[in-house]
Structure 1
Amino acid sequence: MDKQELAAFLRSRRERLRPEDIGLPSGTRRRTPGLRREEVAVLAHISTEYYVRLEQGRAPRRSAEVLAGIAGTLRLSSAESAHLHLLAGTLPLHRGTVQREVRPSILAVVERLPQTAAIVMSADFEVLAWNDLAVALMEDFAEQDRAGRNLARKAFPVVGSPLPVVPPYGISDGTEFQQHVVMRLRTTLAQHPADDEVAGLVQELRTGNADFARLWERQDVHPAPVLTKTFRHPAVGEVTVDCDALELTDQGQFLVLYTAPPGSRDADALALLGVLGADAGRAPRRS
């Protein structure tokens, strides 16, 4: 159980609620934002002392039923409730490290997809495999080391990093992507508490990038799906593609597919990029 992260998460969710949200009078003498701790405790049918200890990171492990009561009181979404249980240790954790080996069958899919830019990404945003169209659309990942292939580092360059302080690959949704990265990394860190590499990445970004640190303190855990993405490519201009991220649940990885409607200007741009990539002699690769 990560008591400190659990405490911070509970405080952030309590402070966002107003008394009137749960049928209580707002009053005029409140000194802190949101609900009072004793109000949460009463509504969740637990002692105030125990709830205070939870928010101070001093409470022992508690049952799933108690946590469900707290989640209902704080009006947590299903994703937030799952994260609460994960932090409290009532959901199974991944005791090992983030999986970075891609199954051969997934590699075959990536290499054979026609007119589709495809990458496989680890739970902490390292690009593990890619095809030639992904190289043409984004970059030649084989020319980067592991740190350079991490999309979280591209989204949040740290102080002194050689990476440019602009959205990676000129994407139009840079702010939304940053929010997605932070929320996904929060879940990954909770799922892999023994992975020093993930913890190190989060610490590096928290201390080296003010935007990451600010978003991390918000404690948000429910990323909105990214349905489309626009790349600004130096050879073909703007390319707007459908973006589908398929979770490989047994691996903890994501197969990300970029496609365009047949016959569209964007499909033509992808086709041209495929030709340019083939002329450059690029081939599907893995890390």
Structure 2
Amino acid sequence: MNFGALVRQWRDRLDPADAGFTRTAKSRAPGLRREELAHLAGLSVEYVLRLEQGRATHPSTQVVAAVSRALQLRRPERDQLYRAAGLLPPQDSMVDDHVPPGVARLVARLGDVPIGIFAADWRLLSWNDLWIALHGDPALVPERERTIAHMLFGTGAAAAYLRPLRSESGPDAFAAAIVADLKEATVRYPADPGLAALVTGFRQTSPNFDQLWTTAGASMITSEEKTISHPEIGDVTLDCDVLTVRGVDLRIVTYTAAAGSADAGKLDLLRVTSGQSFRSAGREAESRR
């Protein structure tokens, strides 16, 4: 089966509820709509259509990875999709960007919490609408820069993407913890060229990164309060937790506030506006089908 047929087959199979969408009574077909897949994968609806029709014949590894995560494929299915695109599946010795279906469903069903899923090299792999509402849309950042390292130590679009953020543990603690975690990742994945290039690049271009790398001890990614300066709701202070799944080298980052607090009210406001934004985008995309 070719790439486009596989995408269409697995799009029809995926229940919208498992991807964080609500299926209405007016829905005419099973599975995800094309614009929903495009939204989840960070692609245009037109490009998804071209993929399914076989008119886009050489998707990149980044596109295949994004589509496989959006479709919540199991690892053998992901590998089949890579081969259908004429690409080698990711090797076990490399940093894994596969999100198991159970993790994807869990994240999709927690739509009232800003959630981002990161790989071991702190690449942002997946996020929900409330993450976009809180932090901005990561899809506007070039994929190679969509890492915490680029946000903290870079000078490009990723650095501009990161909204002003204060950690209760101090201005340098978060950066130090990220560098220490990256240092541990290089021990687990010594053959990963992307991770090696990331570290080497920032050691050469960022004196702060290089100093933190030299002094880094054991990784200390902990739960803590973070205050984000938001352009619409002002400062919002939230509990930031980093969750891990046994046997999967991913980091699930969540932001929550105590019920009834002023900050919970600000999250509620973002939740409403983010839902309205996607519904509006969905209607526009549907009108073009």
Aligned match of 1:124 in 121, 126, 138? 121
Match of 2:164 in 1: 170
User: Post-superposition shift, 1:249?
Assistant: 3.3
Match of 1:217 in 2: 214
| Residue-by-residue CA offset, 1:92-145 (whole Å, 9 max, x unaligned) | xx9610110111221111111142111111111111111111110012122323
Please state which structure has a larger fraction of its residues in helix: 2
Question: How far apart, CA to CA, are the structure 1 residues paired with 2:173 and 2:153?
Answer: 12
Structure 1 gaps, min length 5: 1-93
Question: How far apart, CA to CA, are the structure 2 residues paired with 1:230 and 1:236?
Answer: 12
Alignment of 1:249-268 (within 5 A): 249-268=246-265
| Residue-by-residue CA offset, 1:229-277 (whole Å, 9 max, x unaligned) | 1111001011111111111232210111111000000101011011111
Task: Flag the 1:117–1:162 CA change in 2: closer, same or farther, 3 A.
Answer: closer
Name the aligned partner's letter for residue 188 of structure 2: Q
Alignment of 1:131-150 (within 5 A): 131-150=128-147
| Residue-by-residue CA offset, 1:179-236 (whole Å, 9 max, x unaligned) | 1111000000111111111111000110111100111111322315132111110010
Match of 1:182 in 2: 179
SS at match of 1:241: strand
CA contact (8 A) 1:155 1:177 kept: no
Identity across matched positions, percent: 31
Task: Flag the 1:109–1:236 CA change in 2: closer, same or farther, 3 A.
Answer: same
CA contact (8 A) 1:157 1:164 kept: yes
Question: How far apart, CA to CA, are the structure 2 residues paired with 1:103 and 1:95?
Answer: 15
Name the aligned partner's letter for residue 162 of structure 2: P
Task: Flag the 1:155–1:253 CA change in 2: closer, same or farther, 3 A.
Answer: same
How many positions carry a matched residue from both structures? 188
Match of 1:100 in 2: 97
Question: How far apart, CA to CA, are the structure 2 residues paired with 1:194 and 1:148?
Answer: 20
User: Post-superposition shift, 1:164?
Assistant: 4.2
Structure 2 gaps, min length 5: 1-90, 282-289
What is the TM-score with the length of structure 1 in the denominator? 0.61
Question: How far apart, CA to CA, are the structure 1 residues paired with 2:209 and 2:251?
Answer: 22
CA contact (8 A) 2:141 2:158 kept: no
Aligned match of 2:194 in 187, 197, 210? 197
Aligned match of 1:112 in 78, 88, 109? 109
Name the structure, 1 or 2, with higher relative contact order (CA <8 Å, separation 6+).
Answer: 1
What is the TM-score with the length of structure 2 in the denominator? 0.61
CA contact (8 A) 1:95 1:193 kept: no
Q: Kindly report the root-mean-square deviation, in angstroms, between the aligned alpha carbons of the 2 structures.
A: 2.2
CA contact (8 A) 2:177 2:220 kept: yes
SS at match of 1:206: helix
Aligned match of 2:266 in 261, 269, 281? 269
Question: How far apart, CA to CA, are the structure 1 residues paired with 2:165 and 2:243?
Answer: 20
